[in-house]
Amino acid sequence: MSSRRPFIVGNWKMHKTVAETVGYVAEFASHLPSSSSGCDMAIAPPFTALSSAVAAAHGTTLQVFAQNVAAEGPSGAFTGEVSAAMLKEVGCQGVIVGHSERRRYYGETDAVVAMKTRRALDAQLLPIVCLGETLAERESGAALEVIARQLRAITDTLTDADVHRIVIAYEPVWAIGTGQAATPDIAQQMHRHIRAIWEATFGASADTLRILYGGSVTADNIAEFTALSDVDGALVGGASLSPSGFANLVRGALATSPASQGV
Ligand code: PEP
């Protein structure tokens, strides 16, 4: 059984003001079960609320991640961009990179996602690198190959020192925001595939690599995923926006995850 520590991350996307963020963190903390020390938890608010989220979460185990980072850095003429060093300065512990909405709406290629991952690592931020196939890719039988291609773009750029400082999220595009989560069989098969590629590239560090599932995860279905041997937590969009709902989701993950039960 896995000894990997579960990790539950809420991706807020373009939701919540500073005031809403501060209120959320206080309410979330009040709903958390005492067993929540058994897993890692993070929220990823918009850039404008990061600093306030860090201040509000001070003294709790809730971590704050950004949703995006500049591919360039550490500074320069890149209007509208925010560098990894800037995220580190405001107290972020990590950053989501390569989310499918970034790939689809903002044209982020595998190469750009690899550059962003590098920037995060160099700034001592934990990158959560998102991989996922579209419905058309799945229906044409290309899902495994698409994920392998997206993953290799990252592994090709990593050094031995990096391999313990990265989290992967498998997020099938067709499951994001649709209410149609992947089946546990699909999730387990893809997570195993990712771990096998990692093992072929980096050997035993595959045992400690955390791979999160994302795509219509809720408090009602989280247990189906965290019970799987190669699923180490979840990246959660819509269901992370309510503090009580997200706390319930954490509770569901703790109830099933082997590592959080010390086995
Ligand atoms: C996401 O945006 O990363 C996500 C998984 O969204 P949702 O949980 O709403 O499907």
Domain harbouring 96, CATH code: 3.20.20.70
What's the whole-number average pLDDT of the chain?
95
Q: Is 88 annotated as belonging to a binding site? A: no
Is residue 199 situated within a structural domain?
yes
Assigned token pair, 96:
């989501």
Q: Which atom of ligand 1 is nearest to the CA of 181?
A: 10
Separation of alpha carbons 22 and 54, rounded Å: 9
Pick from 143, 250, 259: which is nearest to 190 by CA?
143
- pLDDT tens, residue by residue, 154-197: 999 999 999 999 999 999 999 999 999 999 999 999 999 999 99
Pick from 149, 214, 140: which is nearest to 182 by CA?
214
Phi, psi (deg, nearest 5) at residue 29: -60, -35
Is residue 230 situated within a structural domain?
yes
pLDDT class for 263, splitting at 50, 70, 90? very low
Is residue 1 situated within a structural domain?
no
Closest C-alpha to ligand 1, atom 8 = 237
Residues whose beta carbon lies within 6 Å of some atom of ligand 1? 11, 171, 176-177, 214-217, 235-239
Domain residues for the domain of 103 are 7-260
| Domain count of the fold of the chain | 1
pLDDT class for 262, splitting at 50, 70, 90? very low
Is residue 2 situated within a structural domain?
no
Is residue 67 situated within a structural domain?
yes
Is residue 102 situated within a structural domain?
yes
Is residue 229 situated within a structural domain?
yes
- pLDDT tens, residue by residue, 58-67: 999 999 999 9
Is residue 202 situated within a structural domain?
yes
> For residue 160, how far is its CA from the centre of ligand 1 (angstroms)?
31
For the chain, the residue count is: 263
